[in-house]
Amino acid sequence: MSPTACLAAAPALTHNTLVVAAGVAAVGCAAGVVGSLSLLRKRPLIGDAAAHTTLVGVAAAFLLTGRRDLPTLLTGALVAAVAGLAALVLVRRFTRTRDDAATAIVIGVGFGLGIALLSGITARGLPGSAGLEQFLLGHTAALTVRDAVLLAVVSAVAVAVVLLGLKEATLVAFDADFAAATGWPVGLIDQVLVTLVAVMVVVGLPAAGAVLVTALVVIPPVAARQWTDRVPTLLVLGGTFGLVAAIVGVAVSAVVPRMPTGPLVVLAAATICIVSLLIAPRRGWLARRHQQVTLEPPPGMRRLR
């Protein structure tokens, strides 16, 4: 193969690639912003339950419509994610199952059902079904410019909703009892937050896949928390870390053939997170290890030597 042929075979930095990368970057950013709020509300696993039920929706949308364009499949995924979260609420309300056990049940049943449906579809080689399995681990190479624009618009709306209701969401996350006592509809505010998480999980599917997309909502905010003691800064850093992780994942998978995007995005996010946990000032492992234990004497008392 001549060098020129080799170059031509490598995925070029076309206009298309760049637009897709920008769309996925927007998703990573919005996932970090929404995830920061969900981290503050201490419900990081809500996204996991939603994510693992999305495959059912992808498969069902394909079977019902026979189409495999992104808007159709993601609409199915969103319906399934919301149904999964509703199932979670029902299991908790009508049985005496604990939160974590109920989440595990929804994840297991949803994922099992989704894999069974997808395997059935691909095993029968139904026309047009090729590529559906990419929703498992994520693969951005097949995205069109229109897909990328859709992802970016949904991400922008999610961020706008967060910024609009930041005061209310922070209040509920910090002190739900005080919020309820002062008349705020805590249940409604929680539902909006959970819906935002479900939406981010769904638009994150092409980038990270059903198995790993939760990491996009959880890991960048955890990394961001290491660096700041203020909510607005947390959102900015969470969004930035998510954006960087998404770009790294898309870029590497564009260069390495047959490499799914999901693991790369998650590994990039995990790297940022580990570095943050280690070296962040004050909260980081190193800082706490070298922290001098200083005891302030009570007023009027001499400092002990």
Partner 1 sequence: MADAGSSAPPVVEFHDVTVAYSGRPVLWNVDLTITEPCLFGIIGPNGAGKSTLLKSGLGLVPLVHGTARFWGRPLADVRRRVGYVPQRETVDWDFPVSVMDVVLMGTYGRLGWFRRPGSRERSLARECLDRVGLIDVADRQIGRLSGGQQQRVFLARALAQEADIYFLDEPMAGVDARSQEQIFGVLAGLRSEGRLVVVVHHDLRTAATWFDRVALIDMRLVATGPTAEVLTPDNLRRTYAGQVDLLQEIGQAVAARSRTT
Separation of alpha carbons 163 and 235, rounded Å: 9
Q: Is 228 in the site for partner 1 (CB under 8 A)?
A: yes
Q: Is 284 in the site for partner 1 (CB under 8 A)?
A: no
According to CB under 8 A, which one of 93, 230, 303, 305 is a site residue for partner 1?
A: 230
According to CB under 8 A, which one of 178, 255, 256, 288 is a site residue for partner 1?
A: 178
Q: What beta strand segments (E) does the chain contain? A: none
Q: Is the dihedral of CA 89, 213, 203, 33 positive or negative?
A: positive
Neighbours of 112 (CB within 10 A): 13
Q: Is 42 in the site for partner 1 (CB under 8 A)?
A: yes
Q: Is 171 in the site for partner 1 (CB under 8 A)?
A: yes
CB of residue 146 to partner 1, shortest distance in Å: 33
According to CB under 8 A, which one of 125, 127, 183, 297 is a site residue for partner 1?
A: 183
Separation of alpha carbons 75 and 279, rounded Å: 41
According to CB under 8 A, which one of 144, 170, 195, 271 is a site residue for partner 1?
A: 170
Q: Is 83 left (phi over 0), alpha (psi -120 to 50) or beta?
A: alpha
Neighbours of 161 (CB within 10 A): 18
According to CB under 8 A, which one of 2, 3, 14, 229 is a site residue for partner 1?
A: 229
According to CB under 8 A, which one of 231, 251, 259, 277 is a site residue for partner 1?
A: 231
**DSSP reduced 3-state for 128:** coil
Q: Is 195 left (phi over 0), alpha (psi -120 to 50) or beta?
A: alpha
Q: Is 182 in the site for partner 1 (CB under 8 A)?
A: yes
According to CB under 8 A, which one of 10, 18, 156, 180 is a site residue for partner 1?
A: 180
Q: Is 175 in the site for partner 1 (CB under 8 A)?
A: yes
Residue written as tokens 């559906």?
A: 132
CB of residue 102 to partner 1, shortest distance in Å: 17
Q: Is 40 in the site for partner 1 (CB under 8 A)?
A: yes
CA neighbours within 13 Å on the CB side: how many for 10?
12
Separation of alpha carbons 18 and 191, rounded Å: 35
DSSP class of residue 302? P
Q: Is 191 in the site for partner 1 (CB under 8 A)?
A: no
Nearer Cβ to partner 1 (8/164): 164
Q: How many residues bind partner 1 (CB under 8 A)?
A: 24
Residues contributing to the site for partner 1 (CB under 8 A)? 40, 42, 164-165, 167-168, 170-171, 173-175, 177-178, 180-184, 225, 228-231, 234
